[in-house]
Each structure stands twice: as C-alpha cells, then as structure tokens.
C-alpha cells in the first residue's frame, strides 16, 4: 500500500517537473483552429490565380494561400504587398516594381522577379487577353526589380494588374509550377500567402496551416478549416453548436437569430457590388422610362434604408451612384431621399398621374425577395411591375444580349476602377449597357486618350455627374452582408478590408 | 434463364445509349456555361477563350463523340467548375452516398416492413391507425424541414449529435433519418397493402384451414409472396437514395452525389452532370436488371412467360 502511494506521488512529481521544464508555446506562435462555414462550394479551381474568373469569390482562399504584388488591404485599395513600391514612367509606358527581399514561398523558395514575370505570362484568366494586348514585354532588371513595358500609355494598367480585377499580379513559384505541372499545381498549390494547404476535399472542405515565415507577420492562428455549407440554417446551427467560428452570409432571419444569441456577434463584411435599377426601354421615346421625370420618380419611390435593413440587416451603405465610392476616380453621390409624394408628383408631371404598367422586374438570381420589396415600393407610387424569376445562366445570357425587358434589378461586383464600371454598364458599347448617350460615349473616348491624370479624372467625373443628373439608373446600395461570428474570435478579419466580402488579411485573424 | 438475362442486357445497352444522348442534349439546351464561369462584365474575347479551353466551341456531334469515347475509357472529362476530372469527383463522392443510402434504406426497410406487417395483421385496429399516421407524416413532411427540425432539436438544443458533415457514425444518424422518412412511408404502405392482398388469397386460407400456426402462415406463406412488389420498389428507391438525395445532402452538408449533381446543374458543369446522370443511369439499369432476375427467380412464371 505504502509502495503504491510512493509510486503515485513519484509520478505526480515527475509530471509536474516535466510541465515546469517543458517549453511553453511562444507568445508569437500560431495557435488554435478556426473553422469557417462557407456559403459557396469551394473548388480547387480557386487555388490557382492564373485561372481567376474576374469574380471576387476565389479570393476567399487566395488571400490565404497566395500574395500579390499590389492588393487591397486595410490601408487602401492598392497597398504594396510583394512589391515595396512601384513607379510609372513619365510617358506612362513603363511600370517598375521594386520587390520585397526575403519573401519565402510555402516550399521554401525565395520569391524573385522571375516569379513575377512567370506569373504574368502564365496568367490566362479574366482580362488576360486585354493585359497581353497592352503589355509589350516584362523585363527583369535584377532579382528584385521588374519592369512592365506597355505598347502605349494605358492609365488603367494598375487597375487591372494591381487589383483583384485580374489574378495577373498574384504570384506563384515558377520553379515549383514547372516541376509539378499545371494539374499538379492544382492538387498541391504553393504560394507566398500567410497559410499553406494541408488537405483538400473538392466541394467539401479545405484545411490550411499557418506559413510561419510569411513576410508580413506570422499568422496568429495555427489552422484554418473551411467547410462548404450552402444551407444558411445549417451554418447558423453550426455557429450555435460551436462547430464553426465564422459563418458567412447570415442575412435576413438568420442574422436576427445571430443578433439574439449572446454567444455570437453579427459582423458586416466589406464589399464593392452596387445594386441598381436599370430601365430596359429608356431609349425608346414611347416608353415611360424615356422621361427623365419618370426615372427620377423611381429614384424617389425607393426607401433604400428599409431595403438595406430588410435584405442585409442594414449592412449595405446606401448610394446614389452605380460606382463604388472606394474606386479610383469615383464620384461620391448620396442617394435621393425616400419621398413617395414627390415621386407621384413627378409621375403626374410626366403625364402618368395614375402610374403605368412597367412590365417586369428581373433580379439577378436569387435576389427575388429584394425584387419583391423594390416592386412594392414602385407599386406604391403607381409603377406596377411583376417579379420575373429566371435561372441564373439564362438571366446572364439575356442580360448580355440585351434581351431583358422592363426593369432589371442589376448589380456589378467586379473589381477595377470607375473606368471599368463605366465601360461595362454606362457607355453604349458596354457588355451590359442599355444606355445610348452620345455625349457619354464621346467623353469616354476622350478620357481614354487623355494623358493628363487630372484632366482624365475630370472627364470621368463629368460622365458620372451626367448619369446622376439624368437619373439613368436608380442606384440602391453597395451590397455588404451580415455574417455570424463566434465570441471565441478576437479578430474575425471581417470588414477589415473595406472592399472585400470575406475575412482578411488572414494573418490578422485571432482567437480569444 | 440465360436467354432471359441476355435479352435484358441488350435492352439495358439501348437504354444507356438513349440516356447518353438525352442528357448530353438537354444539358446543352440550358445555356452557355461560359457566362457563369466568367466575370459578369467579361468581354466576348474572355468568353471565347473559356469556350475554346473547354472544347465548348466544337460542334455538338464532335463533343458527343468525345464524351462517349472518353466515357468508354473511364474518362468523363474535366469539371468546368472544379477543374479536376469529373470521374474523380464522382468516385470521391460515391462512398458517402452509398453509406447514407445504406443507412436510410436499412431504417426504411426495418421500420416500413415491421409497421406494414403489423398494420396488415391488425387491420382496422390501433396498430393500423398508427401505421397510417406514420405513412402520412413520412409522405407529407418535406425532408429539408424534417432535417432542420432534427438539427435544431438533437444538435443545437440537446447537443447530442453533430449538426452536419461526414465523419463519425454520429454524423450519419440525422441525415439517414431525414432521407428515410419518405421511403419508410412508401415501403410501409406497400407492405401493408401487399400483405392484405396475400392474406386474403386462397392459398393463405388453405394454409390456415390445414391448421398451420399463424406465425408460420404469416412468415412462410404470406410475407414471402407479399415481398415481391416491396423488393422492386426498394431496388429503385435505393438508386434514388444514392443519386438524388439533393435536399438532405445540402441541409446536412453531406458530401454525396446528389449535391454534386445539384452543383453541376447550378454551374452548368456539363461533364459533372453527364457523369452523374450516366453513372446513375447505369445504377438504375443494373438495379432493374437485378430486380428482374430476382423476380424471375422468386416467381418462375415470369421467366417462363418471357
């Protein structure tokens, strides 16, 4: 009995001794696992920036796995990352980037100008055709200095290269890609981002681990697990059950539930997708939408604040322009106030005292409840329109072919600058534009040839002012969405980058 | 019997050919996947580049020959959304679907057959009413609603089970119950009506007149014969459970084939949809073939007629 007790006490002493001499985890070492419930299906296609489709979605992972020469960060839309700095020549034809030294890829390779050149030349995603048309050559000055030579001055070069509008500035290791091949890279991607890939089950989950040699800082979290959970109620249940720390997109009633739960926080994202009403027949003199006062009436008819509350729990800032405020050369415009009386008066002045039948409102799927609410506000002043539901691909196709009639509840969430949005949605040749305003087309043409940045900015702002003055659209809000975050998170990273829908920078994310 | 099986195999090949042409054509009629793969404001040149990259610029006959030629060699093409082979995706997801379907089928057969037999034997009594109520609930309760109720009660409120995903046996419990709901009701109803038919037949009456014990009459004479339509239905239902458990797989984030098919349709991922439908079709055909052979084995009149 006594021997047993001695043995027991000896063991306790040994354990305590070991605990005392064991090295404690250093304060700076990454710790813990953060689990995400992601609302969209995670695909391996997103592991490779060379394939970026020009949508923001792949950056949900790329901000963790990879790094860019220049990218949006909390400090600004174009924050030098792998580049320390960049300069443009006076003639606007040469851009030089000074790269950071001692940047290490996940496999230990040092990042050099070779990788930057290789990544650009390998890029085949959105905007690749345009970039390669404009860039004559990429030359390596020294291992940490690279120059892009343009065929002619192109003031939008940085808008494409230095933003998530494309993935051309996101750097992959040349030697590794050449060694493993394209398919091998998709299976086992290596980047220069704050996290490296541990495992991946396509469409199910990915597991990432801290890249402790990340140049900016060592990530605070050891592991990140992103699980695809497309059903919102299940994401909420995971949060409540403690199975997830962050659940993306908990809007509507789900967000209200998050708000009520003392263990959860409702956190708003950033974002750059603007929503607006587009009037399909505004060029037709027989259409009511041809009248400026009718379009203005539609603008006054919308209670944007209530729409933002109902759809996004107030997360989305209201706007009077279809171009996000954060974009370069954007004209910040406040929306017109909600004034149904004035809307009715304007309709009467335009010759529609009893309103009119506007046909249909077609929203980008699946924002049908949003369209119903908009239809309600328009109907209240006499503009009657039924919500038309379309399958996503059909709607995109019809929109692209300009076959949508009536009102379109449209949005654009592409990165870029004021020029890219005007180019897509405002000038008559834009892929989605239904406008035909010769003056705007002329101004846009002028700005594209203007070398003086100040004059160019003035021209772009004149275009935007004309769009606002003529009420060509009824802008609603800049979409941002509510997300559920567990109180276990000290820093969720949500909304830190004002133009980004997801958490980031990943190295800042921290558990309590 | 050999002639019977060979004839059925020939018909199966014809069905597969028709299925391949149908799915190939139908999925292409739904629209151009390039518009979903590119940014909304992508230029036509970007869309063209995507079409060329995935061979969507080729004529339909060329695409069909490529698809069938590849499929015969086990290559179903590369997923447009995932950018990995569609076959790899399918085989990765199949075990999860098989596991879920097996669990759900076990529940539906154990509950459906037991309650069905009890209801038939006690027709018009308490057991029968309880059985009808179970059938009504199972058939009318949408699986997503049942799934969410289960999640909120057993996972969020009681903390007994994990909410979603796949891993341990505990992960399987709620999806299997939610998936089995409708099928349990269907098996129960069919077992009950089939048993009632058989129990009223002449040979069962004769067995009873001969003085055989009731349990022997039920098990040996009634149940075996009543099982034929239930086996047929269960065979088809098993294939449905494997391939189209879309709602349950979505609610429980279960990584199965149903979800893969749903995503394939959503993203116009032609190779994925073709793979899932074609291999699902193979499963239906094999299941039908097996059921036909089982039928012929259980009831010799069928193969003799054939």
* CB-nearest partner of B163 from A234, A400, A431: A234
Answer yes or no: are the C-beta atoms of A379 and A356 closer than 8 Å: no
Task: For A323-333, write each residue's pLDDT tens digit.
Answer: 999 898 999 99
Residue A142 confidence (pLDDT) above 90: yes
Task: For chain B, say whether A54 makes contact (Cβ under 8 Å).
Answer: yes
Answer yes or no: are the C-beta atoms of A129 and A119 closer than 8 Å: no
Nearest residue of B to residue A183 by CA position? B84
- Top CATH class of B86-305 equals mainly alpha
Which domains occur in chain A, in start order? 68-177 (3.90.76.10), 202-271+481-511 (3.40.190.10), 273-479 (3.10.105.10)
Answer yes or no: are the C-beta atoms of B216 and B222 closer than 8 Å: no
Q: ipTM value of the model? A: 0.85
Residues of A in Cβ contact (< 8 Å) with B30: 391, 393-394
**Across A133-137, A212-216, A360-364, A498-502, least confident range:** A498-502
Task: For A30-39, write each residue's pLDDT tens digit.
Answer: 889 999 999 9
Count contacts between A and B (CB, < 8 Å).
131
* CB-nearest partner of B35 from A400, A414, A424: A400
SS (H, E, C) B75-137: CCCECCCCCCEHHHHHHHHHHHHHHHHHHHHHHHHHHHHHHHHHHHHCCCCHHHHHHHHHHHH
Answer yes or no: are the C-beta atoms of B131 and B204 closer than 8 Å: no
* CB-nearest partner of A45 from B81, B162, B250: B81
Rounded CA separation A418/A275 (Å):
15
Task: For chain B, say whether A257 makes contact (Cβ under 8 Å).
Answer: no
- Domain boundaries in chain B? 86-305
- Collect all residues with Cβ–Cβ distance below 8 Å to A90 and sequence separation of at least 6: none
Task: For chain B, say whether A398 makes contact (Cβ under 8 Å).
Answer: no
- Collect all residues with Cβ–Cβ distance below 8 Å to B213 and sequence separation of at least 6: none
* CB-nearest partner of A53 from B31, B38, B252: B38
Residues of B in Cβ contact (< 8 Å) with A394: 30-31
Task: For chain B, say whether A432 makes contact (Cβ under 8 Å).
Answer: yes
Q: Coil, strand or helix: which one is A390?
A: coil
Q: What is the mean pLDDT of residues A426-453?
A: 91
Rounded CA separation B283/B275 (Å):
12
Residues of A in Cβ contact (< 8 Å) with B28: none
Task: For A149-179, write each residue's pLDDT tens digit.
Answer: 999 988 889 988 998 889 999 999 999 999 9
Rounded CA separation B30/A487 (Å):
44
Give the pLDDT of residue A20: 45
Task: For A271-295, write each residue's pLDDT tens digit.
Answer: 889 999 999 889 999 999 999 999 9
pLDDT > 70: what percent of chain B?
A: 98
Q: What is the pTM of this model?
A: 0.86
Q: What is the mean pLDDT of chain B?
A: 88
Q: What is the mean pLDDT of residues A390-410?
A: 88
């Amino acid at each position: 009995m006594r021997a047993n007790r001695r043995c027991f006490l000896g063991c306790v002493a040994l354990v305590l001794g070991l605990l005392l001499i064991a090295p404690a985890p250093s304060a700076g070492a990454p710790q813990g696992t953060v689990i995400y419930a992601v609302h969209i299906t995670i695909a391996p296609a997103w592991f490779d920036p060379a394939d970026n489709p020009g949508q923001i979605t792949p950056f949900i992972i790329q901000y963790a796995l990879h790094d860019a020469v220049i990218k949006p960060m909390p400090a600004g839309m174009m924050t030098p990352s792998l580049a320390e700095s960049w300069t443009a020549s006076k003639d606007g034809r040469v851009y030089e980037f000074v790269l950071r030294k001692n940047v290490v890829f996940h496999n230990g390779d040092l990042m050099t100008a070779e990788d930057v050149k290789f990544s650009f030349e390998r890029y085949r995603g959105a905007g690749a055709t345009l970039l390669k048309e404009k860039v004559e050559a990429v030359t390596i000055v020294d291992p940490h200095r690279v120059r892009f030579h343009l065929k002619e001055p192109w003031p939008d070069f940085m808008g494409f290269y230095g933003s998530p509008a494309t993935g051309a500035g996101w750097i992959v290791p040349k030697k590794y890609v050449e060694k493993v091949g394209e398919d091998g890279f998709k299976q086992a991607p290596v980047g220069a981002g704050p996290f490296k890939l541990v495992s991946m089950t396509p469409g199910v989950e990915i597991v990432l681990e801290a890249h402790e040699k990340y140049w900016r800082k060592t990530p605070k979290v050891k592991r990140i697990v992103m699980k695809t959970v497309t059903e919102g109620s299940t994401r909420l249940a995971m949060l409540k059950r403690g199975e997830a720390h962050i659940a993306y997109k908990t809007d509507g009633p789900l967000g209200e539930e998050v708000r009520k739960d003392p263990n959860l926080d409702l956190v708003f994202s950033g974002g750059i997708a603007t929503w607006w009403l587009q009037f399909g027949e505004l060029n037709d003199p027989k259409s009511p939408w041809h009248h400026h006062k009718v379009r203005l009436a539609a603008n006054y008819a919308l209670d944007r604040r209530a729409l933002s509350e109902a759809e996004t729990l107030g997360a989305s800032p209201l706007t009077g322009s279809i171009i996000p405020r954060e974009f370069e050369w954007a004209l910040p415009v406040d929306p017109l106030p909600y004034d149904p009386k004035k809307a009715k008066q304007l309709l009467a002045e335009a010759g529609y005292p009893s309103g009119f039948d506007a046909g249909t409102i077609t929203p980008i799927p699946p924002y049908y409840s949003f369209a119903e609410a908009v239809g309600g506000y328009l109907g209240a002043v006499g503009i009657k329109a039924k919500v038309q539901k379309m399958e996503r691909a059909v709607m995109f196709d019809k929109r692209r072919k300009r076959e949508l009639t009536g009102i379109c509840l449209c949005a654009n969430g592409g990165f870029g600058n004021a020029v890219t949005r005007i180019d897509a949605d405002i000038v008559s040749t834009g892929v989605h534009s239904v406008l035909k305003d010769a003056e705007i087309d002329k101004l846009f043409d002028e700005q594209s040839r203007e070398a003086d940045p100040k004059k160019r900015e003035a021209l772009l702002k004149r275009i935007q002012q004309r769009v606002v003055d003529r009420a060509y659209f009824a802008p609603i809000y800049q979409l941002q969405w509510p997300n559920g975050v567990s109180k276990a998170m000290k820093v969720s990273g949500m909304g830190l980058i004002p133009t980004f829908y997801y958490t980031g920078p990943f190295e800042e994310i921290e558990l309590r | 019997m050999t002639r019977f099986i060979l004839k059925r195999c020939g018909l199966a090949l014809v069905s597969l050919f028709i299925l391949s042409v149908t799915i190939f054509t139908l999925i292409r009629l739904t629209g151009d996947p390039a518009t979903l793969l590119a940014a909304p404001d992508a230029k036509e040149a970007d869309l063209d580049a995507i079409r060329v990259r995935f061979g969507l610029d080729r004529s339909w006959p060329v695409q069909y020959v490529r698809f069938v030629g590849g499929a015969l060699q086990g290559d179903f093409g590369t997923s447009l959304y995932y950018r990995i082979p569609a076959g790899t995706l399918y085989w990765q997801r199949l075990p999860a679907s098989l596991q879920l379907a097996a669990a759900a089928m076990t529940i539906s057969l154990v509950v459906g057959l037991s309650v069905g037999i009890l209801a038939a034997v006690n027709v018009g009594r308490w057991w029968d009413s309880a059985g009808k109520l179970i059938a009504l609930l199972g058939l009318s309760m949408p699986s997503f609603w049942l799934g969410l109720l289960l999640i909120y009660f057993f996972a969020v409120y009681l903390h007994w089970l994990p909410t979603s995903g796949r891993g341990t046996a505990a992960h399987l419990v709620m999806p299997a119950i939610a998936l089995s709901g409708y099928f349990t009701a269907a098996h129960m109803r069919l077992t009950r009506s089939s048993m009632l038919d058989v129990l009223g037949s002449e040979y069962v009456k004769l067995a009873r007149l001969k003085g055989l014990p009731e349990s022997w009459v039920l098990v040996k004479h009634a149940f075996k014969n009543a099982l034929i339509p239930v086996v047929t239905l269960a065979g088809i239902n098993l294939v449905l459970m494997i391939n189209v458990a879309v709602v349950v797989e979505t609610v429980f984030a279960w990584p199965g084939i149903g979800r893969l098919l749903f995503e394939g349709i959503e993203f116009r991922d032609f190779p994925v949809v073709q793979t899932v439908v074609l291999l699902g079709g193979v499963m239906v055909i094999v299941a039908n073939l097996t059921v036909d052979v089982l039928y012929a084995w259980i009831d010799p009149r069928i193969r003799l007629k054939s």
